[in-house]
Structure 1
Amino acid sequence: MRRAAGFDGSRFGANFRLRLAVLLVAILTLGLGAVSYAAFTAGRQLLVPEIDQKAETVGRSLAAQVERALALGVPLSGLVGVDGSFKTVLDANGEFARIALLPAGAGAPAITEGRAVAGGRMVAAPVRFDGREVARIEVTGDPGYAQRILHGLWSDLAVVLLISVLIALELMVLLFGVRLVSALDGVESRIRALRIGDFSRRPATSDASVLGQAAGSLDRAVERERARHERLVARADDVGDAAARAELASVASDTKIFETQDVSATSAESIRAPLFLFMFALEMTRPFMPGYVGALTSDLIPLSPTMAVGVAMAAYMGIVAALQLPLAVQTARWGRGLSFRLGASVAAAGYLTCAVSTGFLMFLAGHCLSAIGFALVFVAAQGHVIDTSRGKSRMRGLAIMVGAIMVAGLCGPAVGGMLAEQIGPSLTYLVISGFALLSLAIGWTIIPLKRAATDAMVSHPAKASSLWTGLSRSPAFGVLLLGCALPAKLILFALCFYLVPMQMAAHGASAAEIGRAQIVYPMATVLLVPVFSHLSKQLDMRMPFVLGGALLTGLACLYILLPAGNWILFAILLQFGVAQAMSITPQAGLVGELASRIGAEDSAFGLYRLVERIGSALGPVVAGLLLARFGFEAALLALGGIVAAGAVVFLFVHMGTRPRSAPVESSVRI
């Protein structure tokens, strides 16, 4: 048995999923990289000639205007309004840096508009009168314009490459089939377990492929070892060999040969694809929705465009917050599959309404419909994972769900921004509605139409009376919710989804540029949340991470005082992402720690999520009021101050209300 525990599975490979993912990424990167390079090269080759051709056309047009004036008897020295006309052309054509009218002789002064630039390509058009050249129009291109266009093209291609890889990884389960991936996981988990001497029973694999058969063979081999062990135990009992019996008991304990593992997280793996597509559709609206709402606001609505955006976003999150608890019960009664289908259908109808909206009120109705659909889909997906898993596999399943949502937040804004810039917001909403329907179609084949057998299967929310009683004994818990959890979500929705898009749009940024900015925050969180979560667990400390995240958020908001244009917004979003990644997991752990002291841990997490939703709903409203009254800089500084102040208040309240018997170290290492 000891030798069997050292089973060598190296010839089967250490990690099938990892190798498959690496192979998929390599193929996509090479293919898309080649296409991107070809597109960039072609764009660079076409751009400069196009600018030269346009400069020549503009030069000839201006020269023709001067020639008409000369034909009417106006001398070059008597031309009026030339500089104003040149300025109008320059303002309308960012690719030009300078336009000049240069007389051929000494009779008239040169007229120039714009700035001289080094390295700019100049195109000249002659001005003729009486068969001779009397002047020329010079149009000088701006070399920085071509660089900006090429930089934007390269950025878009890089974003497309990154997002394509991420989407492919998210949909890998869908591409290769849920059963095949489940069988792959089954073989891999068995090999890993046997390599470390773990002989515990594992969920059977129903797949009939070679992988499924391999998993079954491993299970039968383990069953033979288990039967052999039982025979040895019976023989030791028969002869009364206590030493052998103790040795066999030690082997059983070391190899876990009579233990059974929890069910796998296949349910979460299967639901990941439709959930990702649905969340991807939602995230696509982030870059262009504020500008779209502002354009729909008419004089009939007693709201400024700024406030209209805030109202729309607050209504969305308010509906989601209000429906969380009721739908947790109702989706179990209806069945998670039916609830998911209903939610995706309602959301698709909402997006379609937004696409055809002719005014703000119609858009708001569609936006609220999509909020109802989101609440249904999210609660149904979460309930499906909880219903079909337990123990560690449930935690893994919920982590898979969160991962899909975070990756959707990373991919969606950039794609939505690029689409909105190319085809317009209305058509982009039609595409988004199509993604919601695609999520519905995939979920239809994956999530079974099951209803709860009895009301006993429906998880009712815990009564809040014990929680409120406990809160009176632990003010620190209440301050944690109101001083840390609520401001964290408030500034997230105020800054990332409201203030930054509005500010960038006000400074002339395109929807694609706004979308690229909005991937900075989710990229930081996707990469760093696991790092800070692991570090917090390793150090057994939560309070410093929560406080550090809040103070980093406040410090990031101070960057707005630096005169650096849109780049400072990228720096703010990056540091904000780092700050949120630092505090997300430790803050949830701190909630559980403090709630356990008042004996209301289950209810506390429900309240914690509700407070977060309230903060999400308040964020756009608070930001809209501050923006309209004080401006962008003051609004951002006020929000940063709220976050930092809430964390400081929590620190003092917690230090002042910790149990007297607790040592100082334990009060810090939370």
Structure 2
Amino acid sequence: MKSVRIQLSAILVLVLVMALAAFSWRTAGRAETVLLPELEAKAATVADSVASLIGRALDLGIPLDRLQGVGPYLDRTVAGNPDIAFAMLRAPDGAVLNAAGALPGGMPPLALGLDRSQATLSVAVRSGPASPAVLTLGLDPAFARKVVSELWIDLAIIMIVTALVALELMHIAFGAGLYGAIEGVETRLDTIARDDLSLHPAVDGGSEFGRLAARIDRRLVELNRRYLALVARLAAQGDALRQAVVDGLRRDFKLGEGSSEAPVSVIAVRAPLFIFMLAEELTRPFLPIYIKDLAAPIPGLSPDMVTSLPMVAFLAVVALSQPILGGVTDRLGRRTSLVVGAALGLAGYIGSAMATDLIMLTLARMISGLGFAAVFVSAQGYVIDNTDLRQRASGMAMFIGAILVAGLCGPPIGGILADRLGIRATFVIAGLVAGASLVLALIAMPRARRGEHTAVPKGPTIRWRDFGPILASPPLACLFFLCALPAKIILVAYCFFLVPLHMQALGAGQAATGRLLMVYPIAMVILVPVFAALASRFNQRAPFVALGGIVAGLSGLSVLISAEEPLVLALMLGLFGIGQAISIAPQSALVGEFGRALAGDISDSSLYGIFRLVERTGNALGPACAGFLLGRYGFTSAVIVIGLGMAFASAVFVAVFAYWRSSRHATAVQAE
């Protein structure tokens, strides 16, 4: 049986994309029809303004051939109007007095007015009743085509993002109600067909499909109850032969086991988490540019280092508050904590839009950082609360998937909005999106039951006494500081700081920057599951982590081809995304693998909490490192130095890991 979810999702997304494609076709066609007359009208306004200015100078008695500054003024006019290819001032006999821009091969006629065949517009320069000169502007036909092509790109991105958001909504919808019950019945029938008789999380029983799922569950529960009773009876009798047969039944039919699917209740956090992360991702293409515009010089620091400070403050708040927020969200409840985090995010984004200097912006970003940390920890804690160890991987895949999709959708839409509406308006929109996350949390997430907040904390908390043994473990310390920390430094340095600032230096708009930043999350969304499966299949997680780090680090060498070409930057981000995709899933698995070798009662939550703290510290260091190197050595050197540092750290990790594993093996052989 093919998945009902896949079939319905494909049909609905196909209908949506077809409708958007038809709308985009009409929009682009209408834009081209409207654009050309508007460009002609604009050129006429510019021509009248320039001719009037020259005419006023002539009225003052200055001879035409002795006017000063006409050439530079025409240069500025052409440079400030990309739809104008050239400008020339000519005498009545056709002699060119001044010119700017790319002049045509043949001289256009002196006839006044618009000549569409020549793509020129000529106006008379008046001085009293006389007309001693003619100003001719050349319209750039490629400009209109470029605007329409960029519009097509934006519309295509909007279609892709809309399809992804629709898939998110479908994913959320299938987690509850009738769709969830249909999916539940299908899952049960598929697993039974594969001789898997394990138990499943309950689904909504209000529909006929829900009641059918419940009837199947009752049969499975009874079958598993009888199996466990048989196991207990054979254990009491000490019948080893029959016990082996019963154990074979467990292996073949998974009797006595629970399902590894995440329960339906976990899906409740996906919508508010996705929407809140989308709000933050909207700011990626323009945040360092906005900071740079507000920044004032600070003695002893380069302008690029100053630009990094609000980003460092935001990420430092996220890193330092997460260990504390684990216990806070346990006490307040996940729903309440997520609502408070979304409210802080709303306040921080609105404050960022209203900021008038670097201090105000930094404070606003710190508030946003606290909200980001609260939402992240609350959502992660909610997944942990509602899954057991068998279901944890499935639940965390849902959690990570929402963040990755938000990272794919946010930057291009944020760039388009910033180009069309302005950066401050886009911050306001980000705040409204965070507010929507608050509303979704109130609607979708269940209220904490009475007394639930007083329970023993289960969330992602850190026990401070565990720092010593964890960081004293050579494999864990190497994994944390040679892989996890550099991976986050290079991620923030490349994607959040260096590339947006360099794209601005190249003259690109925020929309182009947002499109470029899509390359990294696309690689991650597509390749992370592939490399995670390969690492598990070959059981070689450490080599995958090292290989990914080396590929990600060496991606920076791409700028040696040309640091001025956006396609080269896209290549760099693509290779970087491939490297990160190779290493990210095996890296998390290695944390648990190395952690099991630790002595004492170190919990998984503490182990992974310290791991995330190291990662967040790398996030905070990323803008500072990038700002320092950019201010001192420039973009190309900054990219290469950070990349080679990542590659070198990964190479050291694999060497240390190989030495540690061989030493441990030698010790085991001697002990035998």
Shorter-chain TM band: 0.7 to 0.9
**Equivalent runs, 1:359-378 vs 2, <5 Å:** 359-378=357-376
Question: 2: CA distance between counterparts of 1:230 and 1:641?
Answer: 56
Deviations 1:326-375 (CA, angstroms, capped at 9, x unpaired): 22222112211111111111221222222222222222222111111111
Q: 1:661 to 1:339 in 2, by over 3 A?
A: closer
Q: CA deviation at 1:76?
A: 5.3
**Equivalent runs, 1:550-589 vs 2, <5 Å:** 550-563=549-562, 564-589=564-589
- Size of the aligned set, in residue pairs, is 643
**Other structure's SS at 2:205 match:** coil
Q: 1:538 to 1:262 in 2, by over 3 A?
A: closer
**Other structure's SS at 2:99 match:** strand
Q: Which amino acid aligns with 1:15?
A: S
1:659 aligned partner: 662
Residues 381 and 460, structure 2, Cα contact 8 Å, conserved in 1: no
2:77 aligned partner: 89
Residues 333 and 453, structure 2, Cα contact 8 Å, conserved in 1: no
Q: CA deviation at 1:504?
A: 1.6
Which region of structure 1 is more displaced relative to structure 2, 555-564 or 337-346?
555-564
2:476 aligned partner: 477
Question: Residue 619 in 1 paired to residue 622 in 2?
Answer: yes
1:431 aligned partner: 429
Question: Residue 47 in 1 paired to residue 35 in 2?
Answer: yes
Question: 2: CA distance between counterparts of 1:368 and 1:640?
Answer: 28
Q: 1:231 to 1:312 in 2, by over 3 A?
A: closer
**Equivalent runs, 1:457-496 vs 2, <5 Å:** 457-458=457-458, 461=461, 468-469=468-469, 472=472, 474-496=473-495
Query: For structure 1, which runs of at least 5 residues remain unmatched after alignment?
Result: 1-9, 234-242, 664-670
**Equivalent runs, 1:491-506 vs 2, <5 Å:** 491-506=490-505
Q: 1:311 to 1:33 in 2, by over 3 A?
A: same
1:140 aligned partner: 138
2:6 aligned partner: 18
Question: 2: CA distance between counterparts of 1:111 and 1:206?
Answer: 78
Which region of structure 1 is more displaced relative to structure 2, 474-483 or 111-120?
111-120
Residues 264 and 389, structure 1, Cα contact 8 Å, conserved in 2: yes
Which region of structure 1 is more displaced relative to structure 2, 636-645 or 348-357?
348-357
Q: 1:121 to 1:198 in 2, by over 3 A?
A: same
Deviations 1:605-642 (CA, angstroms, capped at 9, x unpaired): 33322211111111111111112222222211211121
Deviations 1:555-597 (CA, angstroms, capped at 9, x unpaired): 2212222334333222211211111111111222333333334
Question: 2: CA distance between counterparts of 1:572 and 1:249?
Answer: 52
Q: Which amino acid aligns with 2:393?
A: M
Question: 2: CA distance between counterparts of 1:480 and 1:103?
Answer: 75
Question: 2: CA distance between counterparts of 1:88 and 1:135?
Answer: 20
Question: 1: CA distance between counterparts of 2:578 and 2:22?
Answer: 33
Question: Residue 650 in 1 paired to residue 646 in 2?
Answer: no
Question: 1: CA distance between counterparts of 2:230 and 2:249?
Answer: 12
1:7 aligned partner: none
Residues 125 and 133, structure 2, Cα contact 8 Å, conserved in 1: yes
Question: 1: CA distance between counterparts of 2:175 and 2:199?
Answer: 25
Question: 2: CA distance between counterparts of 1:431 and 1:578?
Answer: 32
Question: Residue 115 in 1 paired to residue 102 in 2?
Answer: yes
**Other structure's SS at 2:627 match:** helix
2:114 aligned partner: none
**Other structure's SS at 1:319 match:** helix
**Other structure's SS at 2:662 match:** coil
Aligned counterpart for 1:283 among listed residues 281, 284, 291? 281
**Equivalent runs, 1:320-339 vs 2, <5 Å:** 320-339=318-337
Q: Which amino acid aligns with 1:272?
A: R
Question: 2: CA distance between counterparts of 1:69 and 1:248?
Answer: 103
Q: CA deviation at 1:22?
A: 0.5
Q: CA deviation at 1:301?
A: 9.1
Q: Which amino acid aligns with 1:527?
A: I
Q: CA deviation at 1:229?
A: 10
Question: 1: CA distance between counterparts of 2:254 and 2:175?
Answer: 31
Q: Which amino acid aligns with 2:477?
A: G
2:191 aligned partner: 193
Residues 306 and 628, structure 1, Cα contact 8 Å, conserved in 2: yes
Deviations 1:62-112 (CA, angstroms, capped at 9, x unpaired): 445556666677665555543233212112211111112343437x55533
Q: Which amino acid aligns with 1:112?
A: A
1:628 aligned partner: 631
Question: 1: CA distance between counterparts of 2:165 and 2:348?
Answer: 24
Q: Which amino acid aligns with 1:53?
A: A
Q: Which amino acid aligns with 1:569?
A: L
Q: Which amino acid aligns with 2:100?
A: E
Q: Which amino acid aligns with 1:543?
A: A
Question: Residue 30 in 1 paired to residue 18 in 2?
Answer: yes
Which region of structure 1 is more displaced relative to structure 2, 152-161 or 388-397?
388-397
Q: How high is the TM-score relative to the length of structure 2?
A: 0.86
Residues 552 and 575, structure 1, Cα contact 8 Å, conserved in 2: yes
Which region of structure 1 is more displaced relative to structure 2, 455-464 or 47-56?
455-464
1:293 aligned partner: 291
1:353 aligned partner: 351
**Other structure's SS at 2:400 match:** helix
**Equivalent runs, 1:398-437 vs 2, <5 Å:** 398-437=396-435
Residues 120 and 143, structure 1, Cα contact 8 Å, conserved in 2: no
Aligned counterpart for 2:442 among listed residues 441, 444, 456? 444
Q: Which amino acid aligns with 1:481?
A: F
Question: 2: CA distance between counterparts of 1:470 and 1:133?
Answer: 86
Q: Which amino acid aligns with 2:643?
A: G
Question: 1: CA distance between counterparts of 2:250 and 2:617?
Answer: 51
**Other structure's SS at 1:659 match:** helix
Residues 267 and 389, structure 1, Cα contact 8 Å, conserved in 2: no
Question: 2: CA distance between counterparts of 1:303 and 1:231?
Answer: 73
Question: 1: CA distance between counterparts of 2:499 and 2:251?
Answer: 57
Query: For structure 2, which runs of at least 5 residues remain unmatched after alignment?
Result: 106-116, 232-240, 667-672
Residues 383 and 396, structure 2, Cα contact 8 Å, conserved in 1: yes
Question: 2: CA distance between counterparts of 1:397 and 1:133?
Answer: 78
Residues 561 and 633, structure 1, Cα contact 8 Å, conserved in 2: yes
Question: Residue 341 in 1 paired to residue 339 in 2?
Answer: yes
Residues 267 and 384, structure 1, Cα contact 8 Å, conserved in 2: no
Residues 280 and 409, structure 1, Cα contact 8 Å, conserved in 2: yes
Q: CA deviation at 1:129?
A: 8.3
Deviations 1:197-218 (CA, angstroms, capped at 9, x unpaired): 3344433333312321332354
Deviations 1:137-176 (CA, angstroms, capped at 9, x unpaired): 3221223322332222111111111111111111225557
1:238 aligned partner: none
1:545 aligned partner: 544
Deviations 1:294-314 (CA, angstroms, capped at 9, x unpaired): 222246898665333311111
Q: CA deviation at 1:246?
A: 11
Question: 1: CA distance between counterparts of 2:559 and 2:189?
Answer: 53
1:519 aligned partner: 518
Note the aligned Cα RMSD (angstroms): 3.5
Residues 323 and 462, structure 2, Cα contact 8 Å, conserved in 1: no
Question: 1: CA distance between counterparts of 2:618 and 2:524?
Answer: 19
Question: 2: CA distance between counterparts of 1:438 and 1:253?
Answer: 47
User: Identity over aligned residues, as a percent?
Assistant: 37
